[in-house]
A and B are shown apart, each in its own frame.
Chain A
């Protein structure tokens, strides 16, 4: 069965994220007060044939470890849509 999967790839906490910093600064300049810890990453969507949501998640985790995220610099979060 086909599962829709959402992957968020985020720069690892503690690593300098200049994009996040620049956007945080811009938000402040726009008048949005109290914004902090802005980090900018990637959102990846995919559909995958798998026997269960769990199986889909396992496969996508392997994809993240091998390609979608760089383990040196990025963390990832996987969400499998409920059918």
Chain B
């Protein structure tokens, strides 16, 4: 069974659901303290949502210097899977593992509601179980999710197919499809190899059919599949 570390920082608050979603997808979730200096044999790392260090200075700016981040940098550099959800995405940008930054929502309010996102890229460590272009409805909950990058970086992301998840308007939906004013409706991006992923929505909050939908489950089952293939190779 593949071991997946979920890192808890002071102020993380989505680690329990994330661990449960990993277990439900057949993985062994391991809670990892931010003071650890190794991944303890985990094959993948998830940086969960929350408000690490109270979002002081900028979201994710302080977490970037936590001891565990060096091990995560090394893991990412070696081609290992690293997934950042919400605050985790903010950390990956601050740590320069992903380009750009996440700014205060354009409407200046915390937004907590379901959004429709399209899976724009299947060839990542956590989207292979979706159909290309599939639209799923999962929740967002953030105050700072407005993705921004230099025009050249935005163009590079598009050209290289690194926008892996995008907010889309679904017919009949009354809410504004883009919940935060994100550039190009970007909800999530990845590195060129599709191994380092960051996105704002919370698939772990809708990964159990008991809750009415398990639209987010395949993020985690894709990750398990990826790790299983790696183990077999």
Contact = CB atoms under 8 A, between A and B. Distances in A.
Are both chains from one complex? yes
Interface of A: 11, 15-16, 18-19, 22, 42, 67-68, 70, 72-73
Contact of B108 (A11, A15, A18, A73): A18
B211 interface: no
B94 interface: yes
B148 interface: yes
Nearest to B102: A73
Nearest to B103: A73
The SS class assigned to the A binding surface is: mixed
A18 to B, nearest CB: 5
A20 to B, nearest CB: 11
A70 B65 CA distance: 14
Given A67-B61, A68-B57, A19 B108 contact: yes
A47 to B, nearest CB: 18
Contacts of A70: 58, 61, 94, 101
A11, A15, A16, A42 pick with most chain B CB within 10 angstroms:
A16
Nearest 6 Cβ contacts at the A-B interface: A72-B101, A73-B101, A18-B108, A70-B101, A18-B106, A70-B58
A72 B149 contact: yes
B57 A67 contact: yes
B61 A15 contact: no
Contacts of B105: 18
B24 interface: no
B150 interface: yes
Nearest to A42: B57
B104 interface: yes
Interface string B99-115: 11101111110000000
Contacts of B26: none
Contacts of A22: 108
Nearest to B149: A72
Given A67-B61, A72-B100, A73-B101, A18 B107 contact: yes
B83 to A, nearest CB: 21
